[in-house]
Amino acid sequence: MRFGERRVFNGVDVDLGAGGFLLVTGANGSGKTTLLRVLARLTAPSGGELELPERHAIGYLGHEPHVYRELSPLENLDLFGRLYRVPERRERVGMLLERFGLWDVRRERVGSFSRGMQQRLGLCRVLLHEPRLLVLDEPYNALDAAGGELLDGLLAEPGPARIVATHEPRRVERLALDRLVLA
């Protein structure tokens, strides 16, 4: 992968089946975010071959929670539920808000939330359409202890293939079936 003359990473070979778990680690600037954006179909690679699920089967959480700050959690998830064609949207939204401890604040503006609560909502958004591939870039960012445990539980569940980049590898090392270290 190149940006102009600069080579970000080279020779990355990833094969991840259903239920797989790839942990991506590396120093700042090693290309973790770029690799994850390529794997989420958000950035075109400058070379190589990619075989990925359709874009709507991917759940991507980047450094931001990707939610509208002027909307409530309910309004955010309802919008994305519509756009992602989520069946039984209301039930699914309610279940996720309950699970991530946001039900009681479901009608409040996201802009008034702490960064950790916004991250929880970002995780709800990512899970809303039950993606086959989860791509999470520093998902533990800003989460408190309870939020971190919720995420631990989520990542331990069987189901979608998971690709996680984190500076806290110890949290997920026991779950990861593969590990990629970018230098």
Partner 1 sequence: MTYAADVAALARKDLLLELRAKETLPAMLLFVLSTLTVFHFALPRGAGGLAALGLLWVAIVFTALLGLTRAFVAEREQGLLDALVLAPCDRSAIWLGKAVAVLAFLVAAELVALPAFAAFFAPVGARTIVAVVLADVGIATVGTLLGAMAVAGRARELLLPLLFLPLAIPIVVGGVGASAGGGSRYLAFLALYDAVFAVLSWASFEYVVAEA
Q: By C-beta, is 124 or 176 nearer to partner 1? A: 124
Residue 66, sorted as left (phi over 0), alpha (psi -120 to 50) or beta, turns out to be: left
CB of 64 to partner 1, least distance (A): 4
CB of 174 to partner 1, least distance (A): 29
Q: What tokens does 82 get?
A: 């519509």
Q: By C-beta, is 75 or 152 nearer to partner 1? A: 75
Neighbours of 150 (CB within 10 A): 17
CA 172 to CA 176: how far, in whole Å? Answer: 6
CB of 84 to partner 1, least distance (A): 5
CA 179 to CA 163: how far, in whole Å? Answer: 10
Q: By C-beta, is 134 or 176 nearer to partner 1? A: 134
CA 20 to CA 175: how far, in whole Å? Answer: 9
- Positions in the binding site for partner 1 (CB under 8 A): 38, 40-45, 54-56, 58, 60, 62-71, 75, 79-80, 82-85, 109, 125
For residue 32, which amino acid is it? K
Q: What tokens does 125 get?
A: 């958004």
CB of 119 to partner 1, least distance (A): 12
Q: By C-beta, is 111 or 153 nearer to partner 1? A: 111
